[in-house]
Amino acid sequence: MNKEEFINSLRRELGSLPQKEIEDIIYDYEEHFQIGLSKGKAEEEIAEELGNPRLIAKAYKTHYKIDNTENNPSTRNLLTAILAAVSLGFFSFQYAPCVGGTGQRRCRDDRCGLGISARFT
């Protein structure tokens, strides 16, 4: 997968997040490509190191829902966060080989356990 395919896939998967958050996340990943290219890596190699865009987006969306629940506690938000966390666990189990590339960024508080960074902490 090249840079354009990776970014388009990530943007599509992040679709339910607020536009400002999507733009911030996409900016971070475009920066990863710029840094990798400046070090002589191919776009495909960088994309592989970053991981599966679908899993990355799932982790961001889960963190967003958890953060939303912490900031706006309600029964609905709590159930949404629980379902998101359970589905992330199931999803990551299904796609475990896609996780853990050397280019994965670390979560600031490690709540997701997947080693994917989140802006929502």
Residue 79 lies in a domain: yes
**pLDDT greater than 50 at residue 120:** no
Q: What is the pTM of this model?
A: 0.62
Burial class (CB in 10 A: 0-12, 13-18, 19+), 20: exposed
Residue 61 lies in a domain: yes
Residue 120 lies in a domain: no
**Per-residue model confidence as pLDDT tens digits over 34-79:** 999 999 999 999 999 999 999 999 889 888 877 776 666 666 645 5
Q: Which two tokens stand for residue 22?
A: 């999507």
What total of structural domains would you count in the chain?
1
Residue 108 lies in a domain: no
Residue 112 lies in a domain: no
Full residue range of the structural domain in which residue 65 is found: 3-98
Q: Which residue has the higher pLDDT, 108 or 64?
A: 64
pLDDT of 95 reads 41
Residue 30 lies in a domain: yes
